[in-house]
Structure 1
Amino acid sequence: MLALLRPLLIGLLLIPVCCYWAQDQVIDRIFSLMVPPLALTILLALLNLPVRKAFPKLALNGREIAVVYAMLTIACAMSGEWMDMVAPSMYGFAVFSPNNPRYGTYILPYLPDWFFFRDPAPLKEFGEGGKTFGFFLSQLPMWWPKIGAWTLLLTLITTAMLCISALLKDQWVHKERLAFPLVQLPIALTEEAGPGQTPLWKNKLFWGSFAVVFAIDMLNGFSFLYPQLPHFNIRFLGDFNKAFVSPPWNQTGWTPVGIFPYLSALGFLMPTDLLFSLLVFFFVRKAQQIIAYSIGNEQGVFGGGGLTPSPPYFSEQSWGAFIGLFVSALWLARPHLKMLWAQISSGEKDTGENPGLPPRFLFVLMLVCIAGTAAIGVGIGLPLLFVLLYVGLFLAFSVAVTRLRAALGAPTHEMAFMGPHQLILDFHGSAGLSNELLTRTLATFHFMNRIHRTHTMPSLMEGLYLADRGKLSAKGMFLALFLAIPLGTVAGFLTHIYFGYHYTPVSWVSGELGGFVSNILSTPRPPNPTAMLAVLGGFTTVMLLDFIRFRIPGFWLHPAGYALAMNFGVDYYWFGLLIVLIVKVFVQRFYGLKGYSQLRQIALGLIVGEFMAELIWAGFSMLNERQMTYSISINGKMSWDQ
């Protein structure tokens, strides 16, 4: 454990920087491989190279850098999109209640005081901007109780996910041997090169692809600041949907044609069958929109999203698919779960290849965290069984998302408005639920429902995988991840609140949530049988695909591709993945493993080149008080036109 002291201290020092970046440059952490933690790790590895030559005893080894990366990833996730949901709603209903009567009618009377401000008076200076750092520090006493309550809730639910990850790690890593594509770059950065192997930093293909994409991003960045300079655009070249002018063929919504180098490069690291499946089901989803319009259902960018389901019920299909992935994961893990239960019952220690904390300890800690979350729910006025069902659905969904990312390595997993609330409204309806229950549930647990691009559980599992791959202490990595959870949460809160005093507060989330609550309360809805059938259809599709794959080895359609493609995030980068699939199949067919190894080096160079360029442009923006700069991201500063 003493060997972890240095990386823990470095991680603690870098967490505030990482969380500041995550809150200031929001678009840098909306994809699976988030920029702030990886860019800071790359920078740390680069700075470590001269130290290794001059003072080898003082230099960090690859294992220590891996611990730092894992901590930064969790901290970034905690201060990511969950923070975007929680922090604005914590103050937003109070701050904006004078201008929005819906808040006073539907929301403020039912908000629990533990988590939300209800009186706008103490927050008068918060939305004005222009305040100093010293003034921000002077206002913190009134914020600490709310920060503490939210940190406790988020830490409890995330620690439960950490325990589940630790219990499932041996099954997914050693027995099923899932690919974990997204950690291939961190592994390449942190693993020591063996005898006869060329380190990543000395590979010519890596540096060639790095140089090309880095030069393009720097040129585009200067062109953004100085428009008279040339601009090299490959990101959004057009909209495939515009090729069709008449219905039903124009009902597929926005279908951009373009290439994002870092997202496309991740496709080279994905298993080929999963990459193929993702693209096939993306086109299946678009075909469903054409069919839905043909039978009388107008389509937009995404049909049937949000908490108001409509044909073709993509969100419901996704829910069914993720339930199927969860059930499938449990079914495959039956022998492992049986062994775990025996160890839990007897109190045996972990007998895996890289032993971690005792299974009984992990199981009890998981139950304590779930019980603590349930106690908070009961404390704010929710029924115990309702909270347990709600949290159970979220944890099942979290396991499925984690398994999807461990197997597929999806560049994004953007599942907007998917969460327990959607299933409850579809299967139970809102008519029999009180206004108090609906408001308190949706306001307090909104982070479980809004979007899952920076979901914490996949990053927790990847951190444990890094420890296993690098022969690190599993107990030490568990401790590092556990510490990063509350520290990242608090750092995210403090950064967000400081921005509220120094700039202006983020208000759209509270407005969006207020609209949802008022809509649900003002228009009670019964159970939706069609939505239920869509959930069943998604579940059945996953089960059927698994059934076929178990009996036909090499079958190319994977259920993980269906689960991910039924939601919106793939739309940004589908074209780049299509190009990657063609290139990858060609190289593997004619050049074999050697050709694929070279392709992998090129892919890693593309990712590092883009992230280093983003480090420069994001750093420039942060140092210059949020000056608008070029970004490698899929949306944000420049809308859809990059």
Structure 2
Amino acid sequence: MANFSKTADSLETTLSEGRPQGRGWISLRVTLLALLLAPLTAYWTADQVVDVIFSLMIPPVIMTFVVAIINLGVRKISRRWALTEGELIIFYGMHTVLGAICAEWMNIVNPHIATYALYASSNSDYRNKILPYITTWLFVPYQDADKFKDYRDGGHGFHYFLTHLHLWWSYVLGWTLIVGLVGFAMLCINSLMRDEWTNREKLAFPIIQLPLAVVQMGAGRLPLWKNRYFTGAFLIMFAIDIINGFHQFYPNLPLINVRFIGDLQQLFPNPPFNAIGWTPIGIFPYMAVIGFFMPTDLLFSCIFFFFFRKALQVFTYAIGYTQSAGVFGGGGLVPSPPYFSEQSWGAFIGLFVMAIWVARGYLREVWQQILHGHPPGDRGVPHRVAFAGLVLSVVALCVIGVDIGIPLWMTFVTIVLFLIFSVALTRMRAQVGPPSHEMAFMGPNQMIVDFAGTQNLPEAGVSRMVNTFFFLNRIHRTHPMPHQLEAMKMGERARINQRALFIAILLAMVVGSILGHLIYIYRGYVWGAGDVGGDVSGTVSSFTTKHQPPNIVAILFVLIGFCVVLLLDFIRFQVPGFPFHPVGYALAMNFGLDYFWFGLLIVYLIKLFVEKYYGLKGHDKLHQVALGIILAEFCAETIWAVYSMTHNHFATYSVSINGRLGWNQ
């Protein structure tokens, strides 16, 4: 293992001494550097959402890459002043977590703060079902709407934003408290489960391969550019994306289409086979090549169960049912055959139960350490402290919910269900590393409605619950908990003091929430703020006007999804080489795989061929090719994103699954 020189401002020890870096506190300089550059990452994630709607977000990777390149130059002048690998990991960990907070969660939370008051005159649901029940320290009341009209209309500058920021601080701090408590609960769970998932089960963590390579390069350990497979893949992919970008400006230039190629549904115009629905054929190289890091059986399972879901749609249509928005748990959360959202929920609960079962021995050890106060062996956060933090976070959220006016049972069930889902998703991502884990509108609201019905739910409680916790019920593409665990895993690789990293991640969550709010408020004063409350008001209206009993069929499909996962896991344990993994089923029952299934199929076939004829050496070369392709796409996307941000949001080319010109550009 390479040695690292001690820094002037850090108490880190060298790796060669075999001890965790740091004596309890992270290096002050890298913390200050991460905070100094945090507004850039935050603004990028908020302004260019197309760059953060997949598992490996572009802004934190590129920010770390730039710092790593500069650090290489500093190392040539003075290693004493250069950042160590551990410090670069702290930088990446802080930026990926704050980016995750700034992305989907702030994109949902902040625009809703004022939208009901500003657009109440044109929306009766706002007036009748939301504004009467809002909490005034979380949402703008109707009587204060005039104070925020300039935010709605836009056309103002940075100075105007600063002079009106006092109107927003109570809302910013209130939401930061709620978001921070949810994030802290997840961080405590990760701290409790880290050793099990990283060292005992030895999960693959495919998503961290590029960030690890970047920080190792920046620390002088991994000369990426000297590998011809990496360099060749980078240059070819970068050239393709640059050519495609210039095609937007000069249409006479060629377009090398590596995004959406077509729609498989067009090959099946007649029923029942046209019930497969929108089935895009897309390559998306940066997403596809992540499959090279995924275990082969999991890669196969994702592809198989994607087609299994399409076959279910055809079968459902053939027996007389029609496909509706409820198939994927749409905005109204109306269950309908074949109950994919319910199957997904059952599958995730099954994955959670299996995760607990597999870790049962470890959890017994953890419980003893909680009771007797034994600290973790690697100087991580003591399990007693992490457990207390988890309990206090849940209790605090329940107290806030009751204070807002949400029935205690609704708040508690919402938080517990979300944490169950989060644990399953985090372990899944560490195990499989899917390029995206989009779970459309899959949240606790769905389960509460299915199991409790809507006939006995109080309107005030429903309105407050949906408004307060809507960010826990959206799409989960930038769910923060997997990013927290991945930062911890990277920290283990560099032997970073885990307590220090825990504090850094916690700080990043708070900073990410505050910066996210400020950036969205600023964007409102500059560009204007549209009406974004349709999904929330539609959900509230559906829950309060359709008085329905518990949905027995929907509950049955939750149980089916749960049993499928347990059955597949049981067979896998009994039959070596069984090809169907329950994680593939859980992922495929929702919408996320649709974008990149074709790219994964290509990668799967290439991977089989290389492993059969070239073995481990060929496998290693594929890894280098994958790293080159991903970094090339991210670098090219950075150029076009910066151009868009600095040229009045000009619709430039994008490598993303959702382009700036539309999903299919």
Alpha-carbon distance change, 465 to 176 in structure 1, aligned in 2, over 3 angstroms: same
Q: Give the TM-score normalised by structure 2.
A: 0.94
Q: Give the TM-score normalised by structure 1.
A: 0.97
| Aligned residue among 88, 101, 123 for 2:124 | 101
Check whether the contact 1:115–1:150 (CA below 8 A) recurs between aligned residues. yes
| Aligned residue among 520, 528, 538 for 1:515 | 538
1:472 aligns with 2:504: no
Equivalent residue for 1:345? 371
Equivalent residue for 1:491? 515
Check whether the contact 1:51–1:58 (CA below 8 A) recurs between aligned residues. yes
Q: Where do 1:293-332 residues align within 5 Å?
A: 293-299=317-323, 303-306=327-330, 307-332=333-358
Alpha-carbon distance change, 294 to 180 in structure 1, aligned in 2, over 3 angstroms: same
Structure 2 unaligned segments of length 5 or more: list them.
1-23
| Aligned residue among 393, 399, 402 for 2:423 | 399
Check whether the contact 2:85–2:218 (CA below 8 A) recurs between aligned residues. no
AA of the residue aligned to 2:489: Y
Give 1:385 shift: 2.9
Equivalent residue for 1:537? 560
Give 1:300 shift: 5.5
Check whether the contact 2:205–2:486 (CA below 8 A) recurs between aligned residues. yes
Write the distance in 1 (CA, Å) between the matches of 2:661 and 2:547: 39
Equivalent residue for 1:133? 158
Write the distance in 1 (CA, Å) between the matches of 2:501 and 2:171: 29
Alpha-carbon distance change, 192 to 256 in structure 1, aligned in 2, over 3 angstroms: closer
Aligned to 1:80, the other structure's residue is in SS state helix
Q: Where do 1:223-234 residues align within 5 Å?
A: 223-234=247-258
| Aligned residue among 186, 194, 201 for 2:211 | 186
AA of the residue aligned to 2:93: A
Aligned to 1:251, the other structure's residue is in SS state helix
Alpha-carbon distance change, 495 to 92 in structure 1, aligned in 2, over 3 angstroms: same
Alpha-carbon distance change, 138 to 347 in structure 1, aligned in 2, over 3 angstroms: same
1:611 aligns with 2:611: no
Equivalent residue for 2:82? 59
Alpha-carbon distance change, 258 to 225 in structure 1, aligned in 2, over 3 angstroms: same
Equivalent residue for 2:304? 280
Aligned to 1:177, the other structure's residue is in SS state coil
Write the distance in 2 (CA, Å) between the matches of 1:217 and 1:115: 43
| Aligned residue among 375, 383, 394 for 2:399 | 375
Equivalent residue for 1:421? 445
Write the distance in 1 (CA, Å) between the matches of 2:265 and 2:630: 29
Alpha-carbon distance change, 520 to 545 in structure 1, aligned in 2, over 3 angstroms: same
Write the distance in 2 (CA, Å) between the matches of 1:214 and 1:113: 49
AA of the residue aligned to 1:486: V
AA of the residue aligned to 1:33: L
1:45 aligns with 2:68: yes
1:501 aligns with 2:525: yes
Write the distance in 2 (CA, Å) between the matches of 1:439 and 1:254: 33
Check whether the contact 1:272–1:581 (CA below 8 A) recurs between aligned residues. yes
Identical amino acids, percent of aligned pairs: 48
Check whether the contact 1:319–1:535 (CA below 8 A) recurs between aligned residues. yes
Question: Deviation per CA, 1:481-530, whole angstroms, max 9, x where unpaired?
Answer: 0100010000000000000000121433x122112212222222221111
Check whether the contact 1:415–1:452 (CA below 8 A) recurs between aligned residues. yes
Alpha-carbon distance change, 185 to 506 in structure 1, aligned in 2, over 3 angstroms: farther
Aligned to 2:658, the other structure's residue is in SS state coil
Write the distance in 2 (CA, Å) between the matches of 1:178 and 1:10: 31
Aligned to 1:56, the other structure's residue is in SS state coil
AA of the residue aligned to 1:328: M
AA of the residue aligned to 1:462: E
Check whether the contact 1:304–1:311 (CA below 8 A) recurs between aligned residues. no
Aligned to 1:640, the other structure's residue is in SS state coil
Give 1:101 shift: 1.6
Equivalent residue for 1:162? 187
Write the distance in 2 (CA, Å) between the matches of 1:231 and 1:384: 56
Give 1:56 shift: 2.4
Aligned to 1:131, the other structure's residue is in SS state coil
Write the distance in 2 (CA, Å) between the matches of 1:580 and 1:596: 12
Question: Deviation per CA, 1:547-583, whole angstroms, max 9, x where unpaired?
Answer: 0111122222111111111110110110000000000
Equivalent residue for 1:628? 651
AA of the residue aligned to 2:213: A
Write the distance in 1 (CA, Å) between the matches of 2:426 and 2:264: 31
1:386 aligns with 2:389: no
Structure 1 unaligned segments of length 5 or more: list them.
none
Aligned to 1:303, the other structure's residue is in SS state helix
Q: Which moved more, 1:608-617 or 1:618-627?
A: 618-627
AA of the residue aligned to 1:150: W
Check whether the contact 2:238–2:635 (CA below 8 A) recurs between aligned residues. yes
1:152 aligns with 2:177: yes
Write the distance in 1 (CA, Å) between the matches of 2:412 and 2:44: 35
Write the distance in 1 (CA, Å) between the matches of 2:291 and 2:457: 44
AA of the residue aligned to 1:325: L
Number of aligned pairs? 638
Check whether the contact 1:62–1:189 (CA below 8 A) recurs between aligned residues. no
Give 1:55 shift: 2.6
Check whether the contact 2:120–2:127 (CA below 8 A) recurs between aligned residues. yes
Give 1:43 shift: 1.5
Aligned to 2:189, the other structure's residue is in SS state helix
Check whether the contact 2:457–2:544 (CA below 8 A) recurs between aligned residues. no
AA of the residue aligned to 2:592: G
Q: Which moved more, 1:481-490 or 1:119-128?
A: 119-128
AA of the residue aligned to 2:559: L
Alpha-carbon distance change, 593 to 194 in structure 1, aligned in 2, over 3 angstroms: farther
AA of the residue aligned to 1:114: W
Write the distance in 1 (CA, Å) between the matches of 2:302 and 2:539: 31
AA of the residue aligned to 1:78: I
Give 1:168 shift: 0.1
Write the distance in 2 (CA, Å) between the matches of 1:553 and 1:373: 44
Equivalent residue for 1:173? 198
Aligned to 1:257, the other structure's residue is in SS state strand
Question: Deviation per CA, 1:588-622, whole angstroms, max 9, x where unpaired?
Answer: 11101000000000000000000000111111111
Aligned to 1:237, the other structure's residue is in SS state strand
Give the root-mean-square deviation of aligned CA atoms.
1.5
Aligned to 2:54, the other structure's residue is in SS state coil
Check whether the contact 2:176–2:514 (CA below 8 A) recurs between aligned residues. yes
| Aligned residue among 94, 103, 106 for 1:83 | 106
AA of the residue aligned to 2:179: L
AA of the residue aligned to 1:467: G
Q: Where do 1:355-374 residues align within 5 Å?
A: 355-374=379-398
Question: Deviation per CA, 1:304-363, whole angstroms, max 9, x where unpaired?
Answer: 422111111100000000000000000111111100110110111112xx3301111111
